[in-house]
Amino acid sequence: MNGDWLIRGRDGRLSVHLASGDGVLCRAERRPGGAFDPPRRIAGTQKLHPGTAAVGHGPDRYVQLAAWRPTRPGESGLVHSTQFRPLLAALDWSPVGHPNGSGERTGTPAVAVDAEGRTHLFVRNAGGGMSMRAQKEKGGWDPWRDLKGSDVQDGPAAVAGESGRVELYAAVPGGILHWVQEEPGRQPVLQEAVEAAARPGTLRALATSPRSTTLFYTDTAGDLCAWRAGGRPTRLLAAAGPGPVSAVRCELDGHDCTLVAQRSATGRVAFAAYPTEQEEAGAWWAESGPQLPVDAEVSLAVDADGRVTAASCSPSGGQLFLTRRKDEPGLALRAWEQV
């Protein structure tokens, strides 16, 4: 799944959304902090292209999903679904079309949700730029919009800032492009490009203050870097492994911190925390949990009781593991449990 797939719902329950074969599975807590229900396929029986799903959520904490599905021989289209509560059935997949009108898949989608609850769906188009389609406030979708750009690599990252305005990041050879909504409800515009050697598929974005979002990525030298618009990328620390990171803001011992997690080269989950937007303070990895398959990824969230929670899963292994922070100083975690 492109995006953080561990999500706290409006009712406080955590849920995980995982791509599985030609569908998407959901598992949710039966009560906040409690056991998880068995995996269930959501959004209907339409067959999806494996590995093409994206997930996002906004202030309303509804889960928004997007994926590619085959439509006719040699052609595909994007579909969208909403899940309003973790234990409720999601809406069936509904078509949202193709950025070029028709054709095959053009790239992995990314999803962000603005302050009014409107889903913004981003995907690379056949010309190598980015395209977007956004929900209307009272139902339906606006037309596809060409956001420009060229030579965009796969794996964009979309996020809504604390203001509710949507932002988009995408890697290009030797750099990163950044689109921003100048006003709520407006089409994001390409505002800035920064020189950076980002590895495709490693971008993750997080709202870190009322004024800015922070993009995390792994560069070709193997370092985990952070970038905010208007500045230069900052090396945070050596990446723990080759895959994407997950990031969440949380309170640790009374301080506003950003926590990042990544599957390490040893196969375990590595965590690092630092004061939010103060990368110069430094960060250090601490590994935790069992050894995981090479394709395992991790996702972070804060549960209904304010505890940092981490989940890890791999498409090949299919096993879901979860841990929560202990009620004690520091970032002490409970033993990992297979869910």
What's the one-letter identity of residue 8?
A: R
Q: How far apart are CA 65 and CA 24, in angstroms?
A: 9
* pLDDT tens column, 95-145: 999 999 999 999 999 999 999 999 999 999 999 999 999 999 888 999 999
Q: How far apart are CA 215 and CA 159, in angstroms?
A: 10
Give yes or no for a contact between 25 and 319, defined as CB atoms under 8 angstroms apart.
no
Residue 259 has pLDDT above 90, yes or no: yes
User: How many residues can be counted in the chain?
Assistant: 339
Phi, psi values for residue 194, rounded to 5°: -125, 145
Q: How far apart are CA 301 and CA 282, in angstroms?
A: 22
Residue 318 has pLDDT above 80, yes or no: no
Judged on CB neighbours under 10 Å (0-12, 13-18, 19+), 142 is middle
Residue 214 has pLDDT above 80, yes or no: yes
Q: Which of 74, 155, 160, 76 is nearest to 118 (CA)?
A: 160
Give yes or no for a contact between 158 and 180, defined as CB atoms under 8 angstroms apart.
no
Q: Which of 31, 319, 3 is nearest to 14 (CA)?
A: 31
Q: How far apart are CA 19 and CA 52, in angstroms?
A: 8
Mean pLDDT of 188-204: 94
Q: What is the pLDDT of residue 106?
A: 97
Q: Percentage of residues in the chain with pLDDT exceeding 90?
A: 90
* pLDDT tens column, 136-182: 988 899 999 999 999 999 999 999 999 899 999 999 999 999 999 98
Paired residues of 199 in beta bridges: none
Structure tokens at 296: 């395992």
Residue 183 has pLDDT above 90, yes or no: no
User: Would you state the torsion angle of the CA atoms of residues 32, 35, 41, 42, taken in this order, to the nearest 10 degrees?
Assistant: -10
Residue 253 has pLDDT above 80, yes or no: yes
pLDDT band at 242 (very low <50, low <70, confident <90, very high): confident
pLDDT band at 93 (very low <50, low <70, confident <90, very high): very high
Q: What is the pLDDT of residue 137?
A: 84
Q: What is the pLDDT of residue 77?
A: 98
- Which residue did the predictor score with more confidence, 6 or 163? 6
Structure tokens at 169: 């990041």
Q: What is the average pLDDT value for the chain, to the nearest integer?
A: 95
Give the N- to C-terminal CA distance of the chain in Å, as an integer: 19
Q: What is the pLDDT of residue 185?
A: 83
pLDDT band at 251 (very low <50, low <70, confident <90, very high): very high
Q: How far apart are CA 110 and CA 117, in angstroms?
A: 16
Q: How far apart are CA 150 and CA 167, in angstroms?
A: 18
Q: What is the pLDDT of residue 168?
A: 98
Give yes or no for a contact between 126 and 100, defined as CB atoms under 8 angstroms apart.
yes
Q: How far apart are CA 268 and CA 122, in angstroms?
A: 32
* pLDDT tens column, 36-57: 999 999 999 999 999 899 999 9
Phi, psi values for residue 170, rounded to 5°: -150, 140
Give yes or no for a contact between 283 and 271, defined as CB atoms under 8 angstroms apart.
no
